[in-house]
Amino acid sequence: MDVLNRYERRVYSQNGEDGIVEEIFSRIGTTNRYCVEFGVGDGSECMIKNLVTQHGWSGLAMEGDLNCCHKMAADYAAYPQVKIKHELTTKENIARLLEENGVPKEFDLLSIDIDGNDYWVWQALSAYTPRLVVIEYNASFPPPQKMVIVYQPDFKWGGTTYFGASLSSLAILGTSLGYALVGTDSKGVNAFFVRRDLLLQSGFPERTPEQAYHPPRYGAVDGGHPRQYGPYLEI
């Protein structure tokens, strides 16, 4: 077990990400306790809920499904410090959406889970420097395989292995944006990237994709999703 995985603990996250996030911030500190998550669903099982409801954070949540947004707005009525927006995020609009909603250039947590264009929207946010980035990776493409789906602004995940990007491709992107990969959750869903200037302070070593990788331990087919081949880039 990697050192990061010792801290896994689920409060509201899909797996044990809540505990990992808490531990990282206990080491690197916070700037403004502000979080941004898109692909938040109805807000019941997401990365920011623990921070907002248990630790008093503020932030921005965006989701492409209108019914999910309505449910989240009702459930989070007691937390007006969170903006909830019905938005389909693309690489063309993501920076504008953050600017329009008053997101500071430096904030604490960015969580990306849109089951598709995750790589492309993170790439489009080079002007923003969150302390920690949590992003879904496609564990069906183990290191050293590079895989990023061909960009389609209206991409919708079909429940198969065709989505997102491999851990190796995300690690390369993270490096170009100034981030160090420090691990993944043990179910093979999310990768954790600490801003490089905070790496020493975090006490976590930078990991290669091979060291950080966990295989897909979700779903019923080969531990993951039904296999689908589609156009992708090896970047």
Superfamily, domain 3-233: Vaccinia Virus protein VP39 (3.40.50.150)
Predicted pLDDT at 1: 63
User: Rounded to an integer, what distance in angstroms lies between the CA atom of residue 79 and that of residue 56?
Assistant: 9
Predicted pLDDT at 220: 73
Residues sharing a CB contact under 8 Å with residue 147, sequence separation 6 or more, in sequence order? 138, 141, 165, 166, 168, 169, 232, 233, 234
User: Rounded to an integer, what distance in angstroms lies between the CA atom of residue 128 and that of residue 176?
Assistant: 13
Predicted pLDDT at 182: 98
Residues sharing a CB contact under 8 Å with residue 88, sequence separation 6 or more, in sequence order? 64, 154
Name the residue ranges covered by the structural domains of the chain: 3-233
Phi-psi region of 35 (alpha: psi -120 to 50; beta: other; left: phi over 0): beta
User: Rounded to an integer, what distance in angstroms lies between the CA atom of residue 187 and that of residue 167?
Assistant: 14
pLDDT in tens, the chain (235 residues): 688 999 999 999 999 999 999 999 999 999 999 999 999 999 999 999 999 999 999 999 999 999 999 999 999 999 999 999 999 999 999 999 999 999 999 999 999 999 899 999 999 999 999 999 999 999 999 999 999 999 999 999 999 999 999 999 999 999 999 999 999 999 999 999 999 999 999 999 999 999 999 999 987 777 788 888 889 999 9
Predicted pLDDT at 98: 98
